[in-house]
Structures are given as C-alpha cells and as structure tokens.
C-alpha cells in the first residue's frame, strides 16, 4: 500500500519502474529553527514523477511529501544537527532509492543567533531608533512615573526597572513589575523623534539611526520636566495635516513622517491571569505629556469570566482600543466601536468575537512566560472627528466624517519555531479623535502621533487603579520604531505586506 501521506498518487497498472534517484541534495540552516532543502528533480519514463518523500534523522517514516524539488523543515531546535534523505515517487506509487544523505546544523538560538538577527533588523534603512535594553541606562532615560513625569534616577520608586536576568540571550530587558498588592505606576515613554547620543538624548553611546539621516536629530532633555511634558515635535501624520500645521510651538519643521511601524518583543508572566487581577495596558502609541484621545492601546486584559474568574481559559487575547475607551469609536473591533470581530483580517477573524472569549482556541492568545514578537503598523488619518463629535455627541460613529486611519498588527512566537507573523488586526477605515488639551491649534499637540510607550498601567473598567491580587511582570526588549516595514524574526522579505 502507498504511504498515507501520498493520497494524491493515482495507481497506474503496468508501471513497476521507480523514478530516478534525487541527487544533489543540499541542506541550508536559515535560522535557529529552520533548515531548507533543495535537490535535483527526478525523472520517470512511465507514469511520471508525482513528488518526493523527505526523511529525517534515519527514520523509516517520511516527515513530508512534496510535489516540488525543495522543502523547508521548520520548528527545529537551535544548535542541533539534522540529517536528511529524499526519495522520488511516481504516479504508480513506485518509490526510488533514497538519495545520498546530507546534514545541517540549525543556528544558535541564544546569544549568537539572536544577536545576528537583532543586528539585521535594527539597522534596516527606515529604522529611526532601536533599543534592546542591554543596559540600565537605556531604561532609565525614559522612565515615566505617573504623576511626576520622567524619573531617570528612579527617585519615586517606579515599577519600571532594568532586569539583567532575562532578555534575548540573557543580555537584559526592561520590566514593568507589578508586585502583589501593588499598583503599576511606571511607563517607558519614548518620543518617536530621532535623538542624539548621551544623557541629554537617547541615553545610549551612539545617536539614533534616524532612518539613514532622512529624519533630523532632535534634542531632548529628560531632566527638564517642562520639556518632558511638552515635547512638541517629531510628529507623524498625513500630508494634509502637515500642510495645515507647517509649524508647531515655534518649531518650523515639526514633522518626521506619515507612516509608523513599531516592533517589539514582550513577555507576560503567567501569574498575570490569576483570579482577581485587574485589567491593564501593554503598549501605548500616542503623544507625549498627556493621553490623547487618538491613543492606540494594546491591552493586557483579565476581565472576570469563565473558569473561576480566570478569563479566556487562563490567558489573554490580543485586543486594542482608542479614545480612552470612552467614546463611540473606542473598541477597535470590526465594525469599530460596537462590532464583534476582535482580531479582524487574520485567521481568527471569524472566531475571535466579542462574547466568545471563554471558548478555547477561538482567539490568538498571549502565551505565558514566553517572548512574543509584535509588529504594529499605523498610517494616521486626518483630523475632523473631534470637532464633529463635540458638536454632535449623539450621532452614530458611521456619521463621523473621517474613517481613514490604517491600523494593522501581527504576532510571532519564535520560541516554537514560527518564522512568519500571524495577523491579529487589520482595518483600513479606523476613525480617530485627535483631542489633546483643546485639540487643533489650541491643543498641546497637533492631530498626530509622536510617542511609543510600553507600560504596566492597570485599572478596572471605570478607570480606577486596582491593586494586583497576584503580582506579575510585563517584560520588553528589542523595540524598534521605523518609517517603513520591519521583517519578522528570521524572515528577510515582507511577504505579509502589500502596500
């Protein structure tokens, strides 16, 4: 009988001659979890070649059947040697002799492999700045303690800390630590602007890449509370908004771009989803000094629900909101505001619905105690909704004049060998409200974005801070802000994105 994996092979009586043996088998380790195989195609003068069986490590059972003269073996262990042989099968189920064996060793998954990957991704031409939090200085420079502003010397005992025991390859990371009975009060608020090196800049030994010099270096003094709360430059917004506000607060060149890409790795403790722990936030994309109504917030959620209060079967689906969670456009669902799709545009669009969170496997959910890569893409839309909503508070969201913001998000789990992203959000018609202390020309900021803020901020549904029932950590590393696409870890081409 033919192998079960060869169900596409059609038996043809009379052909008892196997195909030629595949030759020139080669194996190339492209990452810590993937080896790519190629070989020369076989020939068959009878029923024709149907495909190839791939054998690994001497096992008599093939790991795959493919119609092509190549195969990518994924989900492998770092720094491990694998051996391979390939055979050809014809349409009469005759199998050739196996090829000559070849082997390859996967790349190191620890310091060496991840260091090389970080070096590649953090120096792409559109990168404005990048941090891997390999030193306390990189954390201290932008430590924000709620109510006091930037606190580079941690005088207020912020919950935002440098952790030298974790990170990719053990090089360190940033952690927002929420102790049992405590309330998180620390954020890392980094202006999107490119900054020079040093204590009165980016806190590092070298200046930011500044997208190969296409973005100007701007000054920033974290010890100056007035500037820290009022860093009014380095904005991203549509060209029409830039034309409306060609200058801002005395800055004759306040704009840096129209498109934002942010990539980071995050690890959330499994204890975060303990019974009684409050809702919270993971990352803000917003403006400095205040919380703008245009904020894009990635949640760190734990609402009461099934399984004795441990929601979502003890984990946390990827979710986002805007407008402080208080306006008709707030829930970033599809349809926006009152829709049911929480993870639109990807494989969970049909199943991850408001009201269905308590069923298993219906959403992409954060794995506990595992580094996850997150990629976010934002093309800010135009202003106009704040004025309309202020004058027409009873109007439905569909009546708002501007539904033109693009927002996308992907996730990736390198720890289990993933080499591409899973899309967890896609919407090309998001409606934002650009209100910041007055909005428009009277506000602190123009209708735009200029800050990225990993955090551990937590509160209940009414916005009141609630102590943690069981403490947890939210850790961050390898955060990159770019004007253009950023590849996933281990991937060299943006196959997931078409402009």
Interval 479-484 mean pLDDT: 95
- Torsion 92-95-96-99 (CA) sign: positive
Token pair of 482 as six digits: 């770019």
On whether both 246 and 271 belong to a single domain, the answer is yes
On whether both 90 and 119 belong to a single domain, the answer is no
Q: With bands split at pLDDT 50, 70 and 90, how would you rate the model's confidence at 150?
A: confident
Q: With bands split at pLDDT 50, 70 and 90, how would you rate the model's confidence at 121?
A: confident
> Could you give the number of structural domains in the chain?
2
Please check whether residue 496 lies inside any domain of the structure: no
Q: With bands split at pLDDT 50, 70 and 90, how would you rate the model's confidence at 385?
A: very high
On whether both 283 and 421 belong to a single domain, the answer is yes
pLDDT of residue 235: 97
On whether both 58 and 172 belong to a single domain, the answer is no
CA distance 116 to 204: 20
On whether both 478 and 424 belong to a single domain, the answer is yes
Please check whether residue 487 lies inside any domain of the structure: no
Task: Please name the helix (run of DSSP H) or strand (run of DSSP E) that holds residue 462, with its range, or none.
Answer: none
- Judge whether residue 499 has pLDDT over 50: no
Please check whether residue 493 lies inside any domain of the structure: no
Question: Of 52, 87, 105, which one is at a domain's C-terminal end?
Answer: 105
On whether both 280 and 142 belong to a single domain, the answer is yes
On whether both 250 and 115 belong to a single domain, the answer is yes
Dump pLDDT digits (tens) for 162-207.
999 888 867 799 999 999 998 887 889 999 999 999 988 999 999 9
pLDDT of residue 242: 97
More confident residue, 10 or 60: 60
What is the DSSP pairing of strand 235-236 with strand 255-257? parallel
Give the closest residue to 371 by CA, choosing from 413, 411, 410. Answer: 413
CATH at residue 36: 2.60.40.10
Question: Of 105, 121, 156, which one is at a domain's C-terminal end?
Answer: 105
CA distance 81 to 245: 59
Give the closest residue to 281 by CA, choosing from 150, 187, 418. Answer: 187
Please check whether residue 303 lies inside any domain of the structure: yes
Dump pLDDT digits (tens) for 387-416.
999 999 999 999 999 999 999 999 988 888
On whether both 99 and 18 belong to a single domain, the answer is yes
On whether both 415 and 383 belong to a single domain, the answer is yes
CATH at residue 365: 2.60.120.200
On whether both 161 and 266 belong to a single domain, the answer is yes
Please check whether residue 243 lies inside any domain of the structure: yes
- Judge whether residue 151 has pLDDT over 60: yes
On whether both 147 and 51 belong to a single domain, the answer is no
Contacts of 343 (CB under 8 A, 6+ apart): 317, 318, 349, 352, 363, 364, 424, 425
Dump pLDDT digits (tens) for 272-325.
888 888 888 999 999 988 888 999 999 988 754 433 333 444 457 899 999 988
On whether both 343 and 410 belong to a single domain, the answer is yes
- Judge whether residue 263 has pLDDT over 60: yes
Q: Alpha helices, DSSP H only, in 379-441?
A: 385-391
pLDDT of residue 440: 63
Please check whether residue 325 lies inside any domain of the structure: yes
pLDDT of residue 494: 39
Most confident region among 51-65, 141-155, 341-355, 429-443 by mean pLDDT: 51-65
What is the DSSP pairing of strand 372-379 with strand 260-268? antiparallel
Q: What percent of the chain has pLDDT over 70?
A: 87
Q: With bands split at pLDDT 50, 70 and 90, how would you rate the model's confidence at 358?
A: low
Q: With bands split at pLDDT 50, 70 and 90, how would you rate the model's confidence at 13?
A: low
Please check whether residue 264 lies inside any domain of the structure: yes
Question: Of 105, 133, 148, which one is at a domain's C-terminal end?
Answer: 105
Please check whether residue 255 lies inside any domain of the structure: yes
pLDDT of residue 460: 60
CA distance 135 to 126: 24
Query: What's the mean per-residue pLDDT of the chain?
Result: 85
Interval 418-443 mean pLDDT: 85
Q: Which domain holds residue 50?
A: 4-105
DSSP 162-216: EETT-SGGGS-EEEEEE-TT----EEE-EESSB--SSTTTTSSSS---HHHHTS-
Q: How many CA atoms lie within 13 A of 355 on its CB side?
A: 5
pLDDT of residue 197: 95
């Amino acid at each position: 009988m033919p192998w079960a994996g060869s169900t596409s092979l059609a038996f043809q009586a009379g052909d008892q001659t196997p195909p030629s043996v595949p030759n020139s088998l080669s194996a190339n380790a492209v990452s810590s979890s993937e080896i790519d195989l190629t070989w020369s195609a076989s020939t068959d003068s009878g029923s024709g070649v149907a495909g190839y069986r791939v054998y690994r490590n001497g096992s008599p059972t093939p790991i795959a059947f493919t119609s092509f003269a190549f195969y990518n073996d994924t989900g492998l262990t770092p720094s491990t040697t694998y051996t391979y042989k390939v055979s050809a099968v014809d349409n009469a189920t005759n199998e050739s002799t196996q090829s000559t064996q070849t082997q390859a060793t996967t790349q190191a998954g620890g310091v060496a492999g991840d260091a090389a990957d970080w070096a590649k991704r953090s120096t792409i031409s559109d990168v404005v700045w990048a941090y891997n939090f390999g030193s306390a200085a990189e954390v201290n420079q932008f430590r924000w303690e709620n109510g006091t502003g930037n606190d580079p010397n941690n005088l207020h005992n912020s919950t935002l800390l440098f952790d030298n025991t974790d990170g990719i390859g053990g090089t360190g990371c940033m952690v927002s630590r929420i102790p049992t009975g405590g309330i998180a009060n620390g954020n890392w608020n980094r202006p999107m602007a490119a900054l020079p090196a040093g204590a009165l800049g980016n806190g590092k030994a070298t200046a930011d890449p500044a997208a190969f010099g296409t973005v100007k270096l701007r000054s920033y003094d974290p010890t100056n509370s007035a500037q820290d709360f009022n860093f009014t430059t380095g904005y991203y917004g549509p060209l029409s908004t830039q034309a409306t506000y060609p200058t801002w607060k005395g800055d004759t060149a306040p704009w840096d771009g129209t498109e934002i890409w942010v990539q980071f790795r995050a690890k959330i403790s499994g204890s975060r989803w303990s019974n009684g722990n409050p809702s919270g936030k993971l990352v803000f994309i917003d403006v400095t000094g205040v919380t703008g109504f245009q904020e894009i917030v990635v949640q760190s959620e734990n609402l009461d629900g099934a399984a004795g209060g441990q929601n979502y079967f003890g984990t946390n689906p990827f979710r986002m909101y805007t407008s402080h969670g208080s306006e008709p456009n707030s829930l970033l669902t599809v349809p926006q505001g009152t829709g049911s799709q929480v993870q639109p545009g990807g494989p969970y669009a049909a199943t991850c619905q408001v009201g269905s969170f308590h069923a298993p496997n219906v959403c992409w959910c954060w794995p506990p105690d595992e580094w996850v890569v997150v990629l976010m893409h934002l093309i800010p839309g135009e202003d106009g909704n704040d004025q309309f909503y202020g004058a027409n508070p009873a109007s439905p969201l569909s009546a708002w004049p501007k539904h033109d913001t693009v927002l996308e998000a992907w996730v990736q789990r390198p720890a289990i060998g993933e080499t591409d992203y899973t899309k967890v959000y896609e919407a090309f018609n998001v409606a934002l409200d650009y209100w910041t202390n007055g909005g428009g020309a009277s506000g602190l900021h123009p209708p735009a974005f200029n800050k990225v803020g990993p955090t551990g901020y937590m509160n209940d549904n009414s916005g009141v801070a609630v102590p943690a029932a069981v403490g947890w950590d939210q850790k961050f590393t390898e955060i990159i802000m770019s004007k253009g696409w950023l590849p996933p870890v281990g991937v060299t081409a943006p196959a997931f994105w078409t402009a």
